[in-house]
Amino acid sequence: MVGIGYGMNSLIRQCAQYLVEVPSRPASKPVSPGTEYASVRELGEQMARPGGLTSADLVNYLQERIRTLNPQLSAVIELNPEALETARELDRERASGKVRGPLHGIPILLKDTIETQGMQTSAGAFGLVGAVAGKDAPIVQRLIEQGAVILGKTNLSELAGFRGGPDGWSSRGGQTRNPHNPDADVGGSSAGSAAAVAAGLAPLAVGTETNGSIIVPAALNGVVGLKLSVGLVDRNGIIPASQRQDTPGPMARSVFDAALMLNGMSGSDPQDPQSTGAPQGIDYTKLLVPGALKDKRIGYPATFSANGESQPVINSEQFAQTLKVLEAKGAILVPIDMRIADASRYGELLYSDVKDELNAYLQKRPGLPAQSLDELIKFNEARDGTETDHQPMLHEVNASTLKPEERTALWDDLIEDFRSTVDDPIKQNKLDAIVSDFETSSYFAVAAAGYPGITVPSGTNEEGLPTSAYFFGTRWAEPTLLAVAHGYEQAAQAIPKPVLSKDQSRSRQ
């Protein structure tokens, strides 16, 4: 299924151990069917009722759902053995009158690049399976402080895509499958986070993105993915690619839930130069109100231009409908020309960053089989053989020769060029946001600029697979983007739900 030489049966047995280590325990009472797709607010309301749903009930229910469905999805790579006891403690807090916030008792999955105390943080690579990280990443600490229950870790494209291989495949976790169709593209690298949320394995998940790694799998799996402005939240404790591009971000089944999760993750690193000017103390749900689209000026690419020549955009039927929904709710639509920046050196610069930053990170993680890129490549060769190159991108990264002093000015010019492709039409047309069809790949330019974007399900195509609209804007524009995306989502009501083997008796909604 994923290419000759990966030894899938052996790999499935090896990664399955991480799921079965947590003993199955019966819930204290049955959980209502459909709870797996309840929103965070609905779950909180159920937990607030006397004698209602408990966090322990929910965690146990979702653990059993993962055990049932994960063999066909390979979305979850490891369960947290402490999740059930953590949920019980949070239930005791609630019973005593202490509620930490909207995330109190809510299970969350984390991408396996995010350091989590007591669990592996391996980026899906067996070469990084060893001693666990000594502490939680700051964003994990903040989520726990808000009452979230860390349910487990999600599968991904190995090394966040920098090994080189099928999207959603890792040697440790196997091939993540799209819950809408196992043969469909699942996207990468945060494939497991997107598939898990789409399949009702958890209401929330954290993904990470360098370029496209939240937006692409969220769009293809039919969930909401929020790629943040680089530096908006603390990025320590996350296996890096490039500090100029990396960011974690929420993945959820609704824009409101993504905003709640961002509230819980918020707090930047004062030592991070990318965080200069990052807004603090914002309630990202505040603008998610009825009528949020009225009089909003929203641009959409009518043409893309490069080298002085413009090409018209041929929009899909789904995107044409997206524009109609926005206009019907009072948005002012403005056709724009979007310039395509020169990306010819992007890969060269990115790979050089990855080489330096991943080597530095591995040197600081004691107790791993590989503590450098050279060692990781040799580990993979010993494990998987050398007849076929199973790590082509990792070889390219390791062969990079650009020094930090050589690429700083090049990066600065490239990022500024990409930022102008977003800033210029927004400034010239006095726009609140821009929307495009996900299929136009405008997310690449937004990510290269270090800017925010959010993908929202827009329905399904003729093959029954999810389609998405992509909203984006300038730096720190998250509050406005969330408001616009929420307004569209509420009007469109187009979130698809997969039909899984466990749920065959339920119809698609």
Residues that are catalytic: 111, 189, 213
Alpha-carbon Rg for the chain, nearest whole angstrom, is 22
For residue 444, the SS3 value is: helix
Distance, CA of 194 to CA of 207 (rounded, Å): 8
DSSP result, 387-432? SS-S-HHHHHHHT----HHHHHHHHHHHHHHHHHHHHHHHHHHT-S
Q: Are 377 and 358 in contact (CB under 8 A)?
A: no
Please list the residues that pair with 114 across neighbouring strands.
238
Residue 445: partners with Cβ closer than 8 Å, 6 or more residues away:
338, 340, 341, 418, 421, 422
Q: How far apart are CA 97 and CA 57, in angstroms?
A: 19
Please tell me the distance from the alpha carbon of residue 165 to that of residue 143, in angstroms, as a whole number: 32
Q: How far apart are CA 258 and CA 263, in angstroms?
A: 9
- What is the separation of C-alpha 5 from the centre of its chain, rounded to a whole number of angstroms? 29
The pair of three-digit structure tokens given for residue 407, joined into one six-digit string = 């690429």
Give long-range contacts, CB 8 A cutoff, 24+ apart: 23-30. Answer: 24/63, 24/64, 24/67, 25/60, 25/84, 26/60, 27/56, 27/57, 27/60, 27/61, 28/54, 28/56, 28/57, 29/57
Residues sharing a CB contact under 8 Å with residue 75, sequence separation 6 or more, in sequence order? 154, 155, 176, 177, 179, 191, 192, 193, 195, 196, 199, 201
Sign of CA dihedral 65, 67, 73, 77: positive
SS (H, E, C) 302-368: EEEEECCEEEECCCCHHHHHHHHHHHHCCCEEEEEEEECCCCCCHHHHHHHHHHHHHHHHHHCCCCC
Q: 3-state secondary structure string, 88-150? A: HHHHHHHHCCCCCCCCCCCEEEEECCECCCCCCCCCCCHHHCCCCCCCCCHHHHHHHHCCCEE
